[in-house]
Chain A
């Protein structure tokens, strides 16, 4: 099975900072890599699908890139409402989430 490793597991940044989260797959996943945001007590929300496609309604400060085994979620200018945990997710034979990255405001 493919394993997904996210880093960092947590980060603290200032409002307006550029933030990047990485997701590394143990095997080639092509571009089948999605990113979700989860706020406390809420269901996850799809942000990016197929590595780099912005889901409808998601602010343009979010972007995704990568292919194969290395992927990045970027927030160009961190906002207070972006405080959440972010998860990558891939599919080969079974779906798999990364361990999550908790984003906090400094």
Chain B
């Protein structure tokens, strides 16, 4: 059974760093793209970027380029989304999702449960 398990909720202060995780299981982890999505409170879905774990090929949405970093660890079947200096505007739910097709970017068929990030002084 394909599963994406995300790390737990975080409460941070502005300026702090953070790394959240998404662990895949039940499939050949290195060969499926993983995407990350932001959903701010009461708002729609926004793509942050996508990463191919086998070679860490990464593509960022222009709005998020330079603001976050995606990474992947094949040995633990985990991808990460990290911030070096959080802002209050980073408060949101963050989802990871798996690409539907082997080695191709297309639809995203399996989703993590989401990680809630709260940034407040």
Interface residues in chain A, defined as those with a beta carbon under 8 Å from any beta carbon in chain B:
1, 32, 34, 36, 38, 43-46, 49-50, 55, 85, 87, 89, 91, 93-100
Contacts and interface: CB of A to CB of B under 8 A. Distances in A.
B35 interface: yes
Interface in B91-105: 95, 97, 100, 105
Q: Is the interface of B mostly helix, strand, loop or mixed?
A: strand
29 contacts: A1-B62, A32-B106, A36-B45, A38-B45, A43-B97, A43-B111, A44-B37, A44-B45, A44-B95, A44-B97, A46-B107, A46-B108, A46-B109, A50-B107, A55-B107, A55-B109, A91-B105, A91-B106, A94-B47, A94-B59, A94-B61, A95-B47, A95-B61, A97-B45, A97-B46, A97-B47, A98-B44, A100-B44, A100-B45
A93 B61 CA distance: 9
Contacts, number: 58
Q: Is the interface of A mostly helix, strand, loop or mixed?
A: strand
Given A44-B111, A95-B61, A87 B44 contact: yes
Contacts of A45: 111
For the side of the interface on B, what is the size category?
A: 20 to 34
Contacts of A32: 106
A49 B101 CA distance: 11
Interface of B: 35, 37, 44-47, 50, 59-62, 95, 97, 100, 105-109, 111-114
A87 B62 CA distance: 20
Contact of B47 (A46, A50, A96): A96
Nearest to B44: A100
B106 A50 contact: yes
Contacts of B46: 97
Most chain B CB within 10 A, of A43, A45, A50, A93, is at A43
